[in-house]
Amino acid sequence: MSAAALSPEVLAKYEPVIGLEVHVQLLTASKAFCGCANHFGSAPNSNVCPVCLALPGALPVLNAKAVEFATLAALAINCQVRERSIFARKNYFYPDLPKGYQISQFDKPLAEHGWIDVPTADGTTKRIGITRLHMEEDAGKSIHDGFVDSANHTSLDLNRCGTPLAEIVSEPDIRTPDEAFEYLVRLKEILLYCGVSDCNMEEGSLRCDANVSVRPKGQEKFGTKAEVKNVNSFRFVRAALEYEIERQIEVIESGGRVTQESRLWNAAEGRTYSMRSKEQAHDYRYFPEPDLPPLLISPEFLAETRKKLPELPETRRARMIAEYELTSRDAFALTATREFADRFEAAAKTAKNPHRVANLLLSELGGRLKALGLEQEQSPVSMAGIVLAADLLDEGKISSKQLKQLFDLCFEKNEDFAAVYEREKPEQITDSSAIEALIDQVIEANPKQVEQYRAGKKTVAGFFVGQVMKASKGQANPALLNELVTKKLEG
Ligand code: ADP
Ligand code: ZN
Ligand code: MG
């Protein structure tokens, strides 16, 4: 079936409905129910013990740090945390699951009724509901290649068994693949700010199942959904959803019915394949975990955990926009990671004009890094260097042209700004009469602009400042130049 043959008119008759299930591994030192290291990349089967191997008689003990991280994440996405939640066994057979069940939570999850706000294309935000956040444990891994006998055998690595997870289930509030992408970006950002997961998709610390259905526009009832599994990047989630939406519309348009099933995303082919009919909750024979007591979250613990919440990205952007007079776009750039935002703010506070620090950081420095394909960490100019540059500009000790030249030198010589500035100490013309002479020349050469200025168009002063600065090869003292240009034009 080709899922690309539909006309825009046909596509426009339907509305997609999307809900996402995100699993994140929690960044605890040890596993959820035993003392084994929770570490990616160890030698296979080196981080295992009787508990996570499910040897008879071994008993789980809940990791307090995992509870703290899950609770922190729940609060960050505005969930209500239950005082009493229940662990449950989710029974199924899989070679990488030696217990034959996963410890999860079922009808009494840790947290419910949350939401996150997601920016939309038209500049507004849309609130996406979070149904629940529950705790569970990860399974091991089947390894199909990389061993000498991989052609004939599948190997098992049980290091991942018992890794603590939070599963975050969204309401079916998402309406487009772009919205789904944005939801994931914002969710990941929040989790990273909270420090509860490294959200590394390549290593599987963040995984996403995408549920999607379509319904004729105007119809209230949801259509039958398919669940797309094995999507290991946000871009692929978007692509898989785009594919799946068209596939379902094509099924309906040709008189068929969408089947409820799990489908597998094949990135190489850019399409989904039917994997299995979707299991129902009763297939898992959920029942309360007899080896673990109910999880009790006291109001005191909740209050303590709430205190550990960092300022979250949305709030931080809003504050920074107001505090440093930033555009929304710049605020997004400066808050890309919590660490970067922290470094910016610590530096900006020491500068005379924090707004200028932001500008230099994003345009002068950011532009050069981008052109060279470098990361922020590879920048020759430090935050302190940016602050110095901003202050020098502010005090009129260098012109913006000189600043650009100094930055160029920093990159050429791979040196920080302070060192380059100390050595170069760009010359400045601070002699009023020399600057006045240049101004006279420019005024003489541009009678039309002089007329405009005198007719009331005061912004033309900027033109003269620019021209004189150019004539001085960027060396005129900016403050003095500004003052003298106004004086001459007024005079
Ligand atoms: P299941 O029992 O099949 O796991 P759930 O009701 O638990 O289904 O929902 C799983 C995910 O699917 C949630 O993110 C939810 O928002 C989403 N979802 C539920 N119904 C639909 C639907 N008809 N279309 C798209 N997504 C849906
Ligand atoms: Zn163990
Ligand atoms: Mg479900």
pLDDT, tens only, 356-408: 999 999 999 999 999 999 988 899 999 999 999 999 998 888 888 889 999 99
In this predicted structure, what is the pLDDT of residue 1?
47
Rounded Cα distance between 485 and 488, Å, is 5
Q: Which residue has the tokens 């990616």?
A: 40
Q: How far is the CA of 357 from the centre of ligand 2 (A)?
A: 49
Rounded Cα distance between 79 and 70, Å, is 11
In this predicted structure, what is the pLDDT of residue 415?
92
| pTM, to two decimals | 0.86
Same domain, 475 and 400: no
Same domain, 89 and 224: yes
Query: pLDDT category, 4, cuts 50, 70, 90?
Result: low
Same domain, 411 and 454: no
* Cβ-proximal residues to 423 (8 Å cutoff; 6+ apart), any chain: none
* Ligand of minimum distance to the alpha carbon of 18: 1
Measured from the Cα of 278, ligand 1's closest atom is 3
| Helix/strand/coil percent split, the chain, to 5 | 40, 20, 40
SS3 353: coil
Rounded Cα distance between 438 and 468, Å, is 6
Same domain, 137 and 209: yes
Rounded Cα distance between 413 and 469, Å, is 26
Domain extent, residue 440, equals 432-490
- List, for residues 16-71, the tens digit of each pLDDT value: 999 999 999 999 999 999 999 999 999 999 999 999 999 999 999 999 999 999 99
Measured from the Cα of 281, ligand 1's closest atom is 2
Same domain, 411 and 452: no
Helix spans in 152-227 (H): 177-194
CB 86 within 8 A of CB 106: yes
Average pLDDT, stretch 228-246?
Answer: 93
SS3 346: helix
Same domain, 349 and 260: no
Structure tokens at 119: 């920016």
Average pLDDT, stretch 133-157?
Answer: 91
Rounded Cα distance between 10 and 392, Å, is 60
For 57, counting Cβ atoms within 10 Å of its Cβ (0-12 exposed, 13-18 middle, 19+ buried), the class is exposed
Q: Does the pLDDT value for residue 192 go beyond 90?
A: yes
For ligand 1, say whether the CB of 34 is within 6 Å of any of its atoms.
no
Domain containing residue 464: CATH number: 1.10.10.410
Q: How far is the CA of 111 from the centre of ligand 3 (A)?
A: 15
Question: Of 399, 424, 449, which closes a domain?
Answer: 424
* Ligand of minimum distance to the alpha carbon of 32: 2
Q: Does the pLDDT value for residue 107 go beyond 90?
A: yes
∠ Cα 454 457 462 (to 5°): 100
Same domain, 143 and 287: yes
CB 259 within 8 A of CB 277: yes
- The chain-wide mean pLDDT, for the chain, equals 92
In this predicted structure, what is the pLDDT of residue 395?
84
Query: pLDDT category, 126, cuts 50, 70, 90?
Result: very high
* Cβ-proximal residues to 37 (8 Å cutoff; 6+ apart), any chain: 29, 30, 31, 47
Same domain, 353 and 290: no
* Cβ-proximal residues to 342 (8 Å cutoff; 6+ apart), any chain: none
Q: Does the pLDDT value for residue 2 go beyond 70?
A: no
Same domain, 49 and 150: yes
For ligand 1, say whether the CB of 213 is within 6 Å of any of its atoms.
yes
DSSP 8-state assignment for residue 349: T
Q: Cα separations (Å) of 343 from 186, 346, 443?
A: 21, 5, 45
Q: Does the pLDDT value for residue 281 go beyond 60?
A: yes
Angular region, 474: left φ>0, alpha ψ -120 to 50, beta rest: left
Percent above pLDDT 70 for the chain = 99
Ligand 1: which residue has its CA nearest to atom 19?
172
Query: pLDDT category, 427, cuts 50, 70, 90?
Result: confident
In this predicted structure, what is the pLDDT of residue 482?
86
Query: pLDDT category, 437, cuts 50, 70, 90?
Result: confident
Give the residue from 204, 57, 46, 214 showing the smallest Cα distance to 138: 204
SS3 70: helix
User: How many residues in the chain?
Assistant: 491
Same domain, 137 and 116: yes
Question: Of 301, 331, 355, which closes a domain?
Answer: 301
For ligand 1, say whether the CB of 20 is within 6 Å of any of its atoms.
yes
Same domain, 26 and 65: yes
Q: Cα separations (Å) of 271 from 3, 8, 91, 242?
A: 9, 20, 30, 9
- List, for residues 242-267, the tens digit of each pLDDT value: 999 999 999 999 999 999 999 999 98
11 half-sphere exposure, CB direction, 13 A CA radius: 13
Average pLDDT, stretch 206-221?
Answer: 95
Q: How far is the CA of 196 from the centre of ligand 1 (A)?
A: 25
Same domain, 230 and 150: yes
Lowest average pLDDT, out of 252-266, 303-317, 461-475, goes to 461-475
Q: 308 lies in a domain?
A: no
Percent above pLDDT 90 for the chain = 71
Q: Does the pLDDT value for residue 278 go beyond 70?
A: no
